[in-house]
Each structure stands twice: as structure tokens, then as C-alpha cells.
Amino acid sequence: MAKDEARVVHSFPKNPLEEVRASVTVYKGKQYVDLRVYYKGDDDEFRPSKKGLTLALDLFPELEEAVMKLKEVVEK
């Protein structure tokens, strides 16, 4: 992946005007995971919002654990 680049690995619609994107990004040579809400602009193109979460790769296991615990709770 090139410097300061993002690779979307998954996306899904949140509602007709927004979608959630899961990406791996590189910023200043360091990799991050990014979960972000994108909104549809006036030109019908999706733009990133401030609503989201960007974490260094070393924190990804913590995010994964949090999602698994959420899954356990909602499945009960």
C-alpha cells in the first residue's frame, strides 16, 4: 500500500444517505484501521465524516475483543 493511502476492505449502508466503511490506511508511513461513516454529498459522491474511529494496528486486537463481547451480549 502506498504512502497516505486507504484500502476499503468492507462497507455497508447505514441509511440512504450514509455508509460505514472499514479501511486499512497508511499515514506518515504508519498503518491504521479506520471505521468511518461516509455521507453522500450534493454531487452524490460519498465523503468521510468526522464520525469514526482510527486506531493504530497494535490496538486492533482490543477492538476485535470489544466487537466479540458486543456480539455475545446482543445474541443473548
| Domain CATH code at residue 25 | 2.30.31.10
Tell me the whole-structure pTM to 2 decimals.
Answer: 0.84
In whole angstroms, what is the distance from residue 53 CA to residue 43 CA? 25
> Which residues touch 47 (CB under 8 Å, ≥6 apart)?
38, 39, 40, 41
Assigned domain for 48 exists: yes
For residue 8, pLDDT over 90 is answered with: yes
The number of distinct structural domains making up the chain is: 1
Q: What is the percentage of the chain residues whose pLDDT exceeds 90?
A: 87
Assigned domain for 1 exists: no
61: containing domain: 6-74
In whole angstroms, what is the distance from residue 9 CA to residue 59 CA? 18
